Chains A and B, each alone.
Chain A
Amino acid sequence: MIYLIHIMVFAFEAYIAWQFQSSLFQEKKERSRITYFAVYLGGFTLAMCAFLSKITWLNLLVLFLVHFLIAMYFYHGTISKLLLLTLIQISFMALGEMLVAVYGNHFYQISNGKDTLLSYAFHAIGSKLLYWFIIRILLICIKGTRDKRNFGNTSNFYEYGLCLVPLGSIIIFGSVLDVLWLTEVSFWQEARIVLCAAVLVCMNVLIFWIYDRHQQMMIDINNLQLRLQGEEADNKYYHMLNKQNEDMRILRHDIKNHLLAIKGYIVEGKTHDGEIYIDELLQSKGLLTPKRWCKDPLLNTIIQRYYDICRAHAVNFSADIRLNSTEFLQPMDVVAIFGNLLDNASSAASMCEDGYVEIDCRVDEKKHESHIQIINTCSQDPVSDGKGQWSTTKQDKGKHGYGLKSVENAITHYNGFLKTFYQQNDKTFHVFIILHIITGGGSYSEYCDM
């Protein structure tokens, strides 16, 4: 019968772990519930075996490993993040055990080693219910505010530092449990233990809450920066539109004078002079037809814009956009990818002597992929921010530095890859993107990891 209680308790613990982890983390892959059930149950069966050894520290260690390894297997997250949240989870579990053990002393003879079925059931079920209750409160508090997207893909030192709090709590809980197993304590001693436990719980809850809020704030800041960037892009667009309208207004205003001048040449019989005049007029800005770079009108406009910017800065600009290489992209993604990359490329190349920007978009029909490559010259070596990204060189850092993040966000819609590298020998910066071509109703291609 006691083993039945063991099994029920550990199954319940597996369920709580699953609930907690699936609420906090993003799954790596879509898997069936049976897979999750089987792995969690298998892991907690191991934990149960460790529990049966009646060595507290071994029990805690195995529980920690089971939680941590299952989280690593199923969910996205850096090691430091998974470590911190797993330790917090274990600390709440240990707290439940400790509090029940303290009060269990009064009513049942646990500390004397006389385990009755009832005492065991009280201890096991009571501690798990308390643990579950704490976890539920936490999840309810963060419900609605949680963005499960894994922010950042490198471990942070401060997350490792925060681990000391739950780790310390677990050590304290484990030590107190060991003491409670061996000795009886007075009422006031119990009260002090409960108070300390409450303080430790509050500290862990606070750590969890602060960490969660911090993660959410970073995401909000990121979104705000992207919005600011978007507003700046809108601003530039309206300025450009205004300038175009201005050019057309000037041309319309002058057209009468031009026509009179041409009439004058015809009347005087100076047809050759008239031809030269008309040729010059045809080359004027207001009448020049923009070059057609590709089939997509939106992308065409973006490329034409950066072509004009590069030309103004004496930067050599070339674009080779092959058929069907970009037509499947959603308009917002076209703007995010090409707008940001060309903005960075043209800014960098404009600071070079004999600078150039090259875009190449091709289709690999066999793999059903689109390959986008943008190369630009640099006047100085780009600076890495130490987290696998590049630092912005633009002055107003508050508004910039989010271009590549925006591109990364866009390419996730196509199960894409982004690779950036710098070639020292010819001082060129390369951005290379692989995208899976979506056909039909806009569903993502079902590939392995590509």
Chain B
Amino acid sequence: MNIVICDDDPVFCRTLGKYLLDFFKENRLTKPEIRVFYNGEDLLKDRGKMDLAFLDVVMTGISGIHTGKYLKERYPDLLVFIVTSFSDYLDEAMSFNVYRYLSKPVDKARLYRNLHQALRTVATVNRKYAIETKEGVFTLREREIIEVEACARKVIVHTVKGDYHSLKNMQYWADTLNHNVFFRTHRSFIVNMGHVKAFDHAMVLMDEQDLNAYLTRRRYHDFKEAYLLYVASTT
């Protein structure tokens, strides 16, 4: 886990760094690599890997808002925490997706809760699956898989990068895919709930126009519950 802290207050940086190390220690996780910067320019010069970023809004030089924007363009999966003592509404000024806003002084309990959620999000982003096909083995991220479909004795894994004819059967995919993200709506369809656009009692519409999945009536209620829990966990 790679974490960056950017604030012009060295005392705050030290305190936040300690909180982060305590969190990982208390939860028996691998100690993260924490890099501290005191202004936006130095942070932007850094080309190391980043998973989480804690940015102050008001700094000398480039503001936290601009720094965050450039970082998100470079690392789309980066989770940005904005830490500020501003009491005014900040989201209006943001031109990128902020993961969480934290007020100074940072409340440790709240920080820990947010870190739990952030780590779950990072784990989801990084989770990968190997798709074995006749042409070879392809590794894709969880969120790149849209749905798995059984069609004419073949199993097709529909992804954002194209379709893959898997050598494994539907049961393998039902057992392998993460149940918190994927749901078997029909014996021939397993959908990634992150790609669901809409659904009714018979059909699940996916983000991609030409990809849909049947939904059996008796699974409708369970699917709806699972979908709501999934969306709640990713908020």
Chain A contacts to B: CB under 8 angstroms? 289, 291-295, 316, 318, 320-323, 354, 356, 358, 360, 362, 366-367, 371, 373, 417, 419, 421, 430, 432, 434, 447-450
Contact = CB atoms under 8 A, between A and B. Distances in A.
Contacts of A366: 197, 207
Contacts, number: 67
28 contacts: A289-B87, A292-B88, A294-B91, A318-B103, A354-B109, A358-B110, A358-B113, A360-B235, A366-B197, A366-B207, A367-B197, A371-B235, A373-B232, A373-B235, A417-B224, A417-B228, A419-B225, A419-B229, A419-B232, A432-B228, A434-B231, A448-B198, A448-B199, A448-B200, A448-B203, A448-B205, A449-B200, A450-B198
Contacts of B229: 419, 421
Contacts of A294: 89, 91
Interface string B202-231: 010101000000000000000011001101
Given A294-B89, A421-B229, A362 B235 contact: yes
A316 B109 contact: yes
Contacts of B101: 320
Contact of B201 (A295, A318, A360, A449): A449
Interface residues of B, number: 28
Contacts of B128: none
Contact of A449 (B109, B198, B228): B198
B199 A450 contact: yes
Nearest to A418: B228
A432 B89 contact: no
Interface of B: 87-89, 91-92, 94, 100-101, 103, 107, 109-110, 113, 197-201, 203, 205, 207, 224-225, 228-229, 231-232, 235
Contacts of B235: 360, 362, 371, 373, 432
B206 to A, nearest CB: 11
A18 to B, nearest CB: 22
A434 B109 contact: no
Given A316-B107, A323-B91, A367-B197, 7 more contacts: A294-B91, A295-B92, A320-B100, A322-B91, A354-B109, A417-B224, A421-B229
A362 B97 CA distance: 10
Nearest to A367: B197
Contacts of B107: 316, 318
Contact of A356 (B89, B109, B207, B231): B109
Nearest to A290: B87
A321 B91 contact: yes
Contacts of B92: 295, 323
What 6 A-B pairs come out closest when comparing CB atoms? A448-B200, A432-B232, A419-B228, A449-B200, A292-B89, A291-B87
A285 B201 CA distance: 54
Contacts of A289: 87
Contacts of B94: 323
B138 to A, nearest CB: 25
> Most chain-B Cβ atoms within 10 A of its Cβ — which of A289, A294, A323?
A323
A447 B89 contact: no
Contacts of B225: 419
A449 B199 contact: yes
A360 B231 CA distance: 13
B231 A432 contact: yes
A430 B232 contact: yes
A389 to B, nearest CB: 16
Contacts of A292: 87-89
B19 to A, nearest CB: 16
Nearest to A430: B232
Contacts of B228: 417, 419, 432, 434
